[in-house]
Amino acid sequence: MSVSAGLRAAARSALGDYQYLVERGYPARPAIELVGNRYRLTREERNMLYRGVVSRARAADRKKRVIEPREVCRRPDVGQAASGLPAPAGPVVLIDGHNVLYTIRAYLSGVAVFLCTDGVLRDAGAAHGKHPPPERLAELCGILSGACASLHGGLRPTVLLDAQLSSVELLVEALRSAFTMHALEFEVRVTREVDRELLSANPPAVIAGSDSVLLDRGNAAVFDLARYALERTYGARFLDLTAELETGTEDTI
């Protein structure tokens, strides 16, 4: 499993240089190639910089959209609970299914998983677009559904899955089995318009995922479900790129 080890010295220096370039509007891919070649970064380290670092202004805007676990569900107040009145219906949580499951899978596979400068959890792997192997489906879906169940508050998760990915039917079955075990009201929906549906969601709906497009262009609040699930299940601690920047050198190119 992934551990919260710090960056090696060369990668930390590259992180600082890359942040310097990003702040000045340099395109991401040429900047990655420049610092990656200079510091002889691995593919994983290059992916980490590319997926994990944005300008400070953009990071601050994204963080305003991200909510804590306690904010996901509304709970009945003490008066309601004492009176025996039913709790108000919890919000619909639209889960970017493959996004969340890929991150959990990366952690379990030992791929680098890290907190980006915008505060959300991403991984440095290259599994995106590939379906999780069948032997891992029950485990992955159990972690996801268990995290949803632990939030309480009448949570109504709707998992959106990309219809264009292979063997999606196996994933639908695994998710339905996992959610049924927790007696949650849920929906699993296969669609070719995952991004469109998530981007069009409005409050009080909550989006569960870490995709940068949803953070930049969506309307609903965003919950980092993969991070919550891994911290809850394994007590996971993650490499924090913001902390690495703060402790690294101030050298620039």
The tens digit of pLDDT for each residue in 200-249 reads 999 889 999 999 999 999 999 999 999 999 999 999 999 999 999 998 64
Cα 106 to Cα 123: distance, rounded to the nearest angstrom:
7
Up-side HSE of residue 151: CA atoms within 13 Å toward CB? 27
Instruction: Tell me the CA end-to-end span of the chain in Å, nearest whole number.
Output: 34
Smallest Cα–Cα separation from 180: which of 149, 136, 225? 149
Q: Is the distance from CB of 84 to CB of 16 less than 8 angstroms?
A: no
Q: How far is CA 243 from the centre of its chain?
A: 19
Q: What is the pLDDT of residues 147-177, one digit of tens each?
A: 999 987 667 899 999 998 878 999 999 999 9
Instruction: Give pTM, 2 decimals.
Output: 0.88
Domain boundaries, the chain: 9-247
**CA atoms of 144 and 74, how far apart (whole Å):** 20
